[in-house]
Amino acid sequence: MNNKRGIENLYEKIFTIIILLFIFATLLYFINQQSSGKLTEKQVLAKEICLNTLSAKSGTNIIIEHSSELVILKQDNGIFINDKQGIIAKGYFYDCYGNFEINSLEDGKSEIIIK
């Protein structure tokens, strides 16, 4: 078994290449997210929803049209906006302490009910 050390070196190099490819693919994904403006779109949408709900009177229903790729939810004391196929990215959470509910009507439309 003279080639035992050579095989170990091969496994180490293959493992290093796989790790580097994974890091490179993840980096490309996040750069794509930033360059497409998806994160900024989520931030602006969450802030607009919060401002609308805080300034509306109780009993008001607001229907918001948004990208069909986004899901808008109310979690705890805030608004959570995520992609439907968001595998890696966590989405965006914005603190908003208004008293309201968010319901999905159909793709690209959500209803906000102010209590």
Alpha-carbon gap, residue 38 to 18, rounded angstroms:
28
* Dihedral sign from CA coordinates of 62, 96, 105, 68: positive
Alpha-carbon gap, residue 23 to 32, rounded angstroms:
14
Place of tokens 């008001």: 60
This prediction has a pTM of 0.71
- The per-residue pLDDT for range 6-63, each reduced to its tens digit, is 778 888 999 999 999 999 998 998 888 778 788 888 999 999 999 999 999 999 999 9
Q: Which residues contact 110 (CB under 8 A, 6 or more apart)?
A: 63, 64, 66, 72, 102, 103, 104
pLDDT confidence of residue 30? 81
Q: Which helix (H) or strand (E) holds 100?
A: strand 100-106
* Dihedral sign from CA coordinates of 83, 89, 90, 94: negative
- The per-residue pLDDT for range 56-96, each reduced to its tens digit, is 999 999 999 998 889 999 998 899 998 887 666 678 999 99
